[in-house]
Chain A
């Protein structure tokens, strides 16, 4: 390549760098969360997912005795309360509190059956921020950083499909039995 062409390469490189850097910085700033999803209208959960056709395998959740007991708030501090989960079955067996871990970009367990009146505690164990959103509005968490929790007591029987609204391939279902 001639010297003049290398000078042209350098100019193009400078323009490319400025453009790409501006695009990334602008996108990062523009996509920062402004308000909690709880205050916004509940968006419709997309029917299709990039994972359509892929099976979701429920995974056992380790119960923890160190979780907060304050209801319906994320990241709150409070006295520890026992949580009961039956590993491998995805059923609460009549327990009052059940934990769903958000780990490795998935809800664990993805399929959960609980009795009406059970408090479900979502715990984000990922470095990435996640949230929990159901179309019927029963689950509407703020954005959860690592370590944050979101608790909700489910009274109405029925099936509640939910997603992470940030990473919409993350899906789960809670079945509330009477």
Chain B
């Protein structure tokens, strides 16, 4: 089987996996928003959770409906930005002075980090497979 065909077979599953993981990120943030995080009064942190959910929905739709490798970029950026926000909120300075502890709220913080890493990995893999499909080896049918 040629390299190009093998790699091509990965693109659709990766696109779907990245879309589902991105949707999961948004769903978790939406759940936390409605639970109590909408009441966090500082620096629009609460609204930031809602924005994350909306952005995740848009990125997931783009992944599924737009058959271009660039569709992976919004999901990749969203997932990594959310990971950075999570990390900053656990630091001494906090994320815009909002701090959290460890993996709280459990189990949603850990689930969200897992989904974010999955979304970023799948989006990266999608970009990589797109690059491989254009490689000389793939095009020569080796």
Contact = CB atoms under 8 A, between A and B. Distances in A.
A17 B76 contact: yes
A19 B15 CA distance: 22
A72 to B, nearest CB: 23
Contact of B99 (A25, A127, A167): A167
B120 A28 contact: no
A10 B103 contact: no
A28 B112 CA distance: 12
A120 interface: no
B131 A3 contact: yes
Contacts of B140: none
Taking chain B's interface residues, is the majority helix, strand, or loop, or is none over half, making it mixed?
A: helix
Nearest to B101: A166
Interface size class of A (residues with CB under 8 A): 35 or more
Contact of B91 (A17, A27, A126, A128): A27
A16 interface: yes
A24 B131 contact: no
A169 B42 contact: yes
A14 interface: yes
B100 to A, nearest CB: 7
A25 B87 CA distance: 7
B64 interface: no
Given A24-B83, A26-B87, A27-B87, A33 B97 contact: no
Per CB-CB distance, the 3 closest pairs between chain A and chain B, nearest first, are: A32-B102, A27-B87, A27-B90
Interface of A: 3, 6-7, 9-10, 13-14, 16-17, 20-21, 23-33, 50-51, 54, 103-106, 126-129, 143, 145, 166-169
